[in-house]
Amino acid sequence: MQDWISVALPKGRLGEKAYDLFERIGYGCPSIREDNRKLIFENEEARVRYFWAKPSDVSIYVERGAADVGVAGKDILLEYAPDVYELNDLKMGRCRMMVAGQPGALEETGRTLRVATKFPRIAAKHFAAQSREIEIIKLNGSIEIAPLLGLSDVIVDIVETGTTLKENGLIPLEEVVPISARFIANRVSYKFKNERMREMQERIGALIAEKQ
């Protein structure tokens, strides 16, 4: 009897795209497409189980072994540094972590730079590498408004198209790190369910190589 594999998917568009990928490589679970109130979806035959989680929680489920594998953005992995294996770059959900602000916002080097962000760890590391003194203002959403109201000088946030920035009179100033979705695995599950997890990793790798 094969081991079950539990997969934590991030709610939203990225999770749906990731599920499409799993389906294409033989881990489909048709019930997930039905719009119902179920939380966990199982395919008895493929012995695979899916559930949706808040994107920032996926790595927690995987780290603690409640899910064997999962899909998480590199932003989450950098910010929370969960102790998991990062097996593949899925090359989807691509975007960039950027420093943004009003034009010239970084040039005022004479005083402490105020940085508003949802990602304090990433922001701190980025500016520490430049030896620049900053003050981090942790916000939980609508980061773009902070420089407009004078709450911060710049923001560190994910930029996909830059439209939101432009509409608010902000521009991208520096790239922090490129972001994409990663296939992550629990360290202990990877050992006990090695054959199945490796098969999954290899099929994902093959599909991504083929797409390129």
Partner 1 sequence: MIAPAPRKRSELATLELRALYAQYGYREFRMNKFEEYDFYAEYRSFLQAEDVLTFHDPSGKLLALKPDITLSIVKSIKKDAHLPARLCYSETVYRTDGNAASFREIPQVGLEFIGNIDLYAAAEVLSLAIDSLRAFSPRFIMDVSHVGLAAGLLAETKLSAGKQAQLSACIRAKNAHELRALCEENGVDGALTEKLASLSSLYGTSEQVLSQAAALDVNGATHAALSELHALCSTLKEAGLPEVNIDLSLLNDLSYYNGIIFQGFLPGIHAPVISGGRYDSLLRKMHKQGGAIGFAVNVGLLDSLDTPKEKAEEPLSLSYADDGGAAAALKTARALAAEGKRILVEKSPSGQKG
Interface positions with partner 1 (CB under 8 A): 63-65, 80-81, 83-89, 185-188, 190-192, 194
Closest approach of partner 1 to the CB of residue 188, in Å: 5
Closest approach of partner 1 to the CB of residue 98, in Å: 19
Given a contact cutoff of 8 angstroms between Cβ atoms, the answer to whether 18 and 28 are in contact is: no
Q: Measured between alpha carbons, how far is 40 from 162 in angstroms, rounded to an integer?
A: 35
Closest approach of partner 1 to the CB of residue 90, in Å: 10
Nearer to partner 1, 25 or 151 (CB): 25
Please name which of 45, 53, 38 lies closest in space to residue 7, comparing C-alpha atoms. 53
Burial of 37 (0-12, 13-18, 19+ CB in 10 A): exposed
Please name which of 127, 129, 125, 103 lies closest in space to residue 114, comparing C-alpha atoms. 127
Q: Measured between alpha carbons, how far is 204 from 88 in angstroms, rounded to an integer?
A: 7
Reported as type and span, the H/E element at residue 73 is: strand 69-73
Q: Measured between alpha carbons, how far is 206 from 180 in angstroms, rounded to an integer?
A: 18
Nearer to partner 1, 81 or 148 (CB): 81
Q: Measured between alpha carbons, how far is 183 from 71 in angstroms, rounded to an integer?
A: 5
Strands 113-117 and 171-179: unpaired
Closest approach of partner 1 to the CB of residue 169, in Å: 35
Closest approach of partner 1 to the CB of residue 61, in Å: 11
Closest approach of partner 1 to the CB of residue 151, in Å: 25
Nearer to partner 1, 84 or 156 (CB): 84
